[in-house]
Structures are given as structure tokens and as C-alpha cells.
A and B are shown apart, each in its own frame.
Chain A
Amino acid sequence: MINNLFLNIDAGTIDWSRAQFALTAIYHWLFVPLTLGLAVIMGIAETYYYRTKDEFWKETAQFWQKLFGVNFAMGVATGLILEFEFGTNWSNYSWFVGDIFGAPLAVEGIVAFFMESTFVAVMYFGWKKVSPGFHLASTWLTGLGATISAWWILVANAWMQYPVGCEFNPDTMRNEMVSFAEVALSPFAVSKFCHTVTSAWIIGAIFCVGVCCWYLMKKRHTKLAIESMRIGAWVGLVAALLAAATGHKSGMDVAEVQPMKLAAMEALYNGGTEQGLTAIAWVNPFCQPDYQNEEAAPLKIDIPYGLSIMATNDPKGFVPGINDILNGYTRPDGTVEPSIDEKIERGKKAIQALAGYRQAKFASSDNGEIAAAHLKVLQENMQYFGYGYIKDKNDIVPFIPVNFWAFRIMVGLGCLFILFFAAILFALWKKDVTTLPKWHYWVAILLIPLGYIGSECGWLVAEFGRQPWTIQDMLPTWAAVSDLDSGSVALTFFLFLILFSTMLAVEINILLKQIKKGPSL
């Protein structure tokens, strides 16, 4: 975690700022996926009501809408704190990203506010005031509004991982958007959105099935529990299979634009063709492995060709390892990826050219020729701009154990959830689920936190894996951070910890009370 790479900036400021951002994002992500997931459950329940006119389905939809409302209220505005952190802790970054970050976030704010505030109101207040069809549309549009919000946030996040559709303007020191479509429809954003949203549906489904199993264990609201469990299990199974498929596409994107992240996820020190996917290996969770001298992680058991297929869709595909990326490599198509040392040199050239350009531009003696010469050098080396801040090539290797284990936990839990939902559907088809042994219900209930752990692990892989970059290849954390006193950032870290923990405790308390109370049948 500790950056030893800082120059004038206090290392504590960098690490506290990173920790604070991670804390805020992790807490925020506790609320969001349940909102997205329950939106599908309540939408399906109300669709049954619309089609059958059976009051049971109305009560069922209202029950899930009530739990959705509790979670929605707790989660609303928690993401705003991230924007405050950009302005205070990450001011260089905020200025540098310019309108590229601002545009999606502004669209998100407007869409979220108007869609959610309108349709949430109709969903809760409109049962006796609008037609059933309009009410059903409002329920689905509430979920769609939340999902569209997620889209824009993920577009902003994807741009940091794969900056496209922009041009750096050395006069304003900002990246300026040249193609909104390229930013909004970046393949990285599309994959990230599909994978994130489907994983959120899994959480909604696990929560739904867990709550239903609690009712079955307590022998309360049996009909609601069985029917909701059926919805939850179907949503969960479909979502888990889709998450696996979209995860594969995400893996291919990462292999293409963030090969170091993929190498860290796999603890792949030395790459090549026909690479196996590591099923298990011993990677010490607490220290960075000696990737320069070890051939591979100890006790490695892999699935033959698995990594090549995951990364390239080809069992013979080439996947670079950490040392390949550090030292440079030639792809099978003959293109050469420069070594990190070479990228560092070119990055330094870009930064020096930037300084020279600005000096010449604002000097009255220059007739424009010197500035133009510097600008040419800057543009030629801009793609490696961020490497000019790297002191040692090993500084671009993320902390391997977090990536390696978080990836395995995420994938392992994803596979477990596929089996779990399939088993639930089998039980609903073949057995009387009201008379199962108690431990069956407990397993389902205990899977709820595992759903969150799997989802947060996905984010750990995404964000730890791209370290040290705040913007891939453009800006490392120690250039992006504001020159603040680390003590003040540490103080706000603990303030957030208290605030978010309190909110989480309140949410869990209200949710449990509402679950115990049950539907108003």
C-alpha cells in the first residue's frame, strides 16, 4: 500500500487519500447493487400482478418495494462524497480530466434526479392514483433510472482505465473531449457496465432468496417466500451466467489495454502462448512476490489454455507476464511493445516538452516557433506522459496478492452462485421447500454477505489492478493528489468511517425490522 515514489508530496497524503477514496467507494457499493438487483425482483413481481390481477402479487411487489426503498434512502447521495474528494484530495486529477469526467457525471445527475424522483414517487404514492399499466411502467423505469445512472458512472470509471475520445490541451492543462460517442460507448465501458449490472442482479437475487429462506425457516409468509424465491433464483441464475459471459469479455478488454492488471490477477510473471488459467497457487497475501526471479508462483495448478482463451479467445493466444511488460515484448503479429524504461524516457520527454511549451508560449520573445517545436515533441510522446513520473520500472507493478486473491474469490463465488441458484430451482421443482432441514435455509441466509464480498472483490481487482494509475498511462496517484496535510485527510477518513458505519448499521436495523414485520398481507 505504501508508495515510496513520492517526490515533494507526503507519502501519507497519497495513501490516506487512496484509502479514503477506497473506503467511500466500497461503502457506496454496498448500497448500489441491492438497489439495482431489487429493482428487477420488484419489477417482475409487479408484472405478475399486472398480468394476473391477483392481490397476492400486489402485496409481494409492495413488500420488495419497501425493502428497495430502505436501501435506496440509505444509499442516495453517498456517491456525492466521491466528487468532493476529487475536488479536495485529487485536484490535479480533477483539473487534468477536464470535461471528460464532468459530462458523464452531469448527465448522471440530471437523469438520476428526474427519472428516479418522478418514478419513485409514482411507484410509492401512485397505487390508487394511476392506472396499473402506468404504475408498472413507473416501477420498471425506477430501476431503469438507477441502471442508467450506473451506466454514466461506469463510463467515467472506464475512461480512467482506457482513456479514449479525448485530446490533451497544454494551454488549459485539460483533456478535452473530441468524441462523446467514443467516451460513452467505449468497449471498456460497455463491458464494465454489463458485468457490473449483472453482478448487482446477483446480489438482489441472493438477498431475495435469503429473506425467503428466513421466512420458510420461521414458517411465515410461506406463499410469498416460495414465489419470491422462484423469481430470485431465476434472476440469480440468469444474472450469474451473464456475469460469467460478460466477465470473459471484460477479461479480454483488460488483456488488451491493461495487460499488467491481468498479469497481476494471474500472478503471471513470465508470459507466452498457450497459457493456463491458474486454479490455485501459493501467493503470500501479505507481501509482493519476487516476480523478477521466480519462474512462476509456487504450487501452481492451472487449467490448460484457460488464460489464453480468457484473454484472447484463442487457446494458443499470447499473454504477456509481468517481466515481459517490464522489459518489452513482441506480439505474435510482430508489433513491439516498448519496455517500461523506454516509456519512462518518453514520458519524461513529454513532461519536459510541456514545461518548455508553456514557458515559450507565455514568453513575449518567442514568435511561436519554439512553442511549436515543444508541442510537436509533446504530441509525439503524449501516450507515455504518465511514465515521466515513474522513478523505477517496478513501481508500475500493482500489489499482486490483492489482485490474485480478490480475482479468485470473485470467480469462485460466481461459480458457487451458479450452483446455488440451480440447486434452489431444482429444489423448487422437485421438493417441498417448506420442509427442508434448517441448515439449508441457513446456507442461503449466510450467502448474502458472500454476495457482497464477491462484488467488492470485483472492484478490488478493477481498482487495485490499475495501480499506480489514476488515469491509465497518463497520471499516477502521486502526480494526481493534492498537496494536503496527511493529518487532515486521515481525519476525514475516520469521519467517513464513522458516518458510513452508522448509516450501514441503521440500514441493517431498519431492513431487519421490515423483514421481521413482513408484508402487509
Chain B
Amino acid sequence: MPMRKDSFLYRAYHLYADGFRSMQLGRTLWAIILIKLFIIFVVLKLFFFPNFLKTHAEGDEAGFVATELTDRAAPD
């Protein structure tokens, strides 16, 4: 069944569709955003920012942090 043109969903869809189609400066900005997100989530997150506890605590994060924090106390 075709969507009614006065329905909220149809109008919302067209707001975005027409908006994206008629962008000028926006195209450049979106390209920058996508490149930036790729660098942040693919390059930086995957290769440079692993979850330290996941890779070192072997499932016992509380135990690992407890050992870290008690071992680092200032000596008497």
C-alpha cells in the first residue's frame, strides 16, 4: 500500500531526502564527518585503543583492578 503523502513518516522522509539532495556546503561537511568517523572508529579504536582491562584481566576485572590498586599503594 503506497504511503500517504500527508503522513508524518512520508514528510519526515522527504525532509531528509530533499535536504540531503540539495546540500552544497553540507556535502563537504558530511564527507569530512565520515572520514573523521572512519579514522576514529576504525583506525584509532581498532588499532590504537584496545580495552585494556578486557585484554589483561581475563574476565576478572574487579580482581585485576584490586591487585593494581593495592600494589601501587605508597610504601610504609
A95 and B73 alpha carbons, distance in the complex (Å): 17
- Minimal beta-carbon separation of A227 from chain B (angstroms): 23
A130 and B75 alpha carbons, distance in the complex (Å): 67
Tell yes or no: B1 within 8 A of A by CB: no
A85 and B52 alpha carbons, distance in the complex (Å): 10
B66 close to A70 (CB less than 8 A): no
- Minimal beta-carbon separation of B58 from chain A (angstroms): 14
Tell yes or no: A281 within 8 A of B by CB: no
Known A81-B40, A85-B49: A122·B15 in contact at CB below 8 Å: yes
A119 and B70 alpha carbons, distance in the complex (Å): 49
Interface readout for A36-77 with B: 1 if CB under 8 Å, 0 if not? 000000000000000000000000000000100110011011
B69 close to A354 (CB less than 8 A): yes
Selected from A77, A172, A482, A495, the residue in CB contact (under 8 A) with B62 is A172
B72 close to A479 (CB less than 8 A): yes
Selected from A124, A344, A351, the residue in CB contact (under 8 A) with B70 is A351
Residues of A within 8 A of B16 (CB): 121, 125
Known A70-B29, A91-B53, A355-B70: A174·B15 in contact at CB below 8 Å: no
Tell yes or no: A221 within 8 A of B by CB: no
- Which residues of chain A from 279 to 318 have any CB-CB distance to chain B below 8 Å in the complex? none
Tell yes or no: A186 within 8 A of B by CB: no
Tell yes or no: A390 within 8 A of B by CB: yes
Residues of B within 8 A of A80 (CB): 40
Tell yes or no: A391 within 8 A of B by CB: yes
B49 close to A173 (CB less than 8 A): no
- Minimal beta-carbon separation of A282 from chain B (angstroms): 34
- Which residues of chain A from 391 to 405 have any CB-CB distance to chain B below 8 Å in the complex? 391
Q: Of all chain A residues, which has the CB nearest B45?
A: A84
A66 close to B25 (CB less than 8 A): yes
- Which residues of chain B from 36 to 66 have any CB-CB distance to chain A below 8 Å in the complex? 36-37, 39-40, 44-45, 48-53, 56, 61-63, 65-66
A92 and B68 alpha carbons, distance in the complex (Å): 8
Residues of A within 8 A of B72 (CB): 7-9, 389, 478-479
Q: A391-B74, A503-B36 are in contact. List 16 more A-B contacts (CB 8 A).
A: A66-B25, A73-B30, A73-B32, A77-B36, A78-B36, A88-B48, A88-B52, A95-B53, A125-B19, A173-B61, A348-B76, A355-B66, A482-B52, A483-B68, A506-B32, A514-B25
18 contacts between A and B (CB under 8 A): A8-B71, A8-B72, A69-B29, A77-B40, A80-B40, A87-B49, A88-B51, A91-B51, A91-B56, A92-B68, A95-B62, A124-B26, A348-B73, A358-B63, A388-B74, A389-B72, A495-B48, A514-B25
